[in-house]
Amino acid sequence: MRKHVNRFLLIVAIVAVAGIIALPKELPINFKLFNREISYTLTSPVIDFNLFGKQYYKEFELKRGLDIQGGIQIVLEADMSAIGIDDRQEALSAAREIILRRVDMYGLAEPTVKTVVKDESYRIIVELPGIDNPEDALLLVGQTAQLEFQLLGVETFPIAEDGVLVDQEATPTAQAVLIPTGLTGAQLKRAIVQSDPQTGEPLVAIEFNDEGRELFADITSNHVGEQLAILIDGYPIMAPTIQDAIVTGQATITGSFSFEEAQNLKIQLNAGALPVPIKVLEQRNVNATLGQESVQKSMFAGIVGIGLVMLFMILYYGAKGVIASIALTIYAILTVALYKIIGVTLTLPGIAGLLLSVGMAVDSNILIFERMKEELRLNKPFNVALELGFGRAWDSIKDANLATIITALILINPMEFSFLSSGGLVRGFGITLLLGVLLSLFTGVLVTRTLMRLFLKGDKS
């Protein structure tokens, strides 16, 4: 009994934490109590703390796909003139992976990045949900040249007109020039955001590979006090001053950054270089195909569906149906919380996968309850029938859910097999279906079993 109570308390703790995470971003609560107006706004939690110099920040919110919230579609064309015919497909795939990685680092959910090859045209189509600013979208995928580190120098020369020196004693003019160092993004191993242990301000720590460490050591040793400009696509994004010689290949970039500025700099440094030049052919806004009203109707349909399932379970199975309904409620809370934690994107196919998994969440309970009925008809004690019902129904539950899990994995295509679909929307359906099955096993077997062991003692229904 003690073991069951401990398991119950663990379930309660998990559901409590999940319930807080599953809260909407803002949920206003207004009511009267003893003639007193109570007004309060519940908000979903935000993780924001510093651990060993590393800043952790996470907002828990449901991400919506392009078909729900709209966004931007960008068509890019790769210049393959300098690439051999046999290597063009590989270069295009590499460019797609780098763009996809850039999108992922910005935290955008379920982007669609696909390649299209027709005759001599090599294109990449990028769909970004949640972005309605064209400049942000181009900043995200349009930086095509290599990341470079160049010294910022000053060149002086006398004043001249039409190439003829007019006054040899006049004060020379000065002009900033960039001096290549040979250090590029190819030698950068990684960049991360940390906090200054003395001031607490965000900074960006960078680390080079072996080749980059030697180059960086040579540059910093010979140019202390000078500025080392960081360029992306030939455009300097900043020019920090070299304070000391750095021979370890590890350095920090400071500059009174905000956390967002430090995060963006980290992303730019980590983004890498595209293997081929790319230009923007087309850019257009994509309106949401569903709209807020349609999303609300879909969610309302889901709530009605859950309600009807609960009603059926209670009317048909009595007390056991009540427990199954509680388990289904826990399933819904855990599902929303898990979507927020791992960043699952809610799209129209994703909603379909979620609603499909609702029915599957009680499927295990029905198999178990029917097996229990068979044992009770044989005049077995309730506790024995309970354990036999769960034990003997497990084989059917396992086989049925295993088949669904395999189907979901085929839809997700984690191994990137070329003969399977790799579309974002198809994967969205597969991910929600897979999570739904796994959670239904947890709530339908473990949660229901624990509640029945504790609260049902002799139900003969």
Residues 127-140 have pLDDT tens digits of 777 776 666 666 66
How large a percentage of the chain has pLDDT more than 90?
2
| Residue 299 or residue 341, greater confidence | 341
CA dist., res. 390 & res. 441, Å (int): 12
The pLDDT of residue 132 is 63
Question: In this structure, which CATH number among 3.30.365.10, 1.10.260.40, 1.20.1640.10, 1.10.1760.20 belongs to the domain 291-455?
Answer: 1.20.1640.10
> Worst-scoring range by mean pLDDT, 74-78, 285-289, 363-367?
285-289
| Mean pLDDT along residues 69-86 | 82
Residues 6+ apart with CB under 8 A from 118: none
Q: What is the mean pLDDT of residues 48-75?
A: 72
The per-residue pLDDT for 165 is: 43
What's the CATH code, domain 147-158+171-273?
3.30.1360.200
What residue type is assigned to position 289 of the chain?
Answer: T
pLDDT in tens, 194-227: 888 887 788 888 888 888 889 889 988 888 888 8
Helices 348-377, 291-317: inter-axial angle, 10-degree rounding: 0
Q: Compute the average pLDDT of residues 79-91.
A: 80
What local confidence, expressed as pLDDT, does residue 356 receive? 75
pLDDT, tens digit (0-9, with 9 covering 90-100), for 154-169: 655 554 444 444 445 5
What is the domain partition of the chain in residue ranges?
A: 71-144+279-286, 147-158+171-273, 291-455
User: H helices within 166-290, ranges in order?
Assistant: 210-222, 259-270
Residue 74: pLDDT band (50, 70, 90) is confident
CA distance linking residue 338 with residue 21, whole number of Å: 9
Average pLDDT over residues 117-134: 78
Higher pLDDT, 354 or 317: 317
Is residue 369 over pLDDT 70? yes
Q: pLDDT tens-digit profile of 241-295?
A: 888 888 888 888 877 778 877 877 776 676 555 667 778 888 877 676 655 666 6
Pairing of the two strands 63-64 and 345-346: parallel
How far, in whole angstroms, is CA 376 from its chain's centroid?
48
- The predicted pLDDT at position 52 comes to 65
pLDDT of 51 reads 67
Q: What is the pLDDT of residues 372-382, one digit of tens each?
A: 888 888 888 88
User: CATH number for the 71-144+279-286 domain, one of 1.25.40.390, 3.30.450.20, 3.30.70.3400, 1.10.150.20?
Assistant: 3.30.70.3400
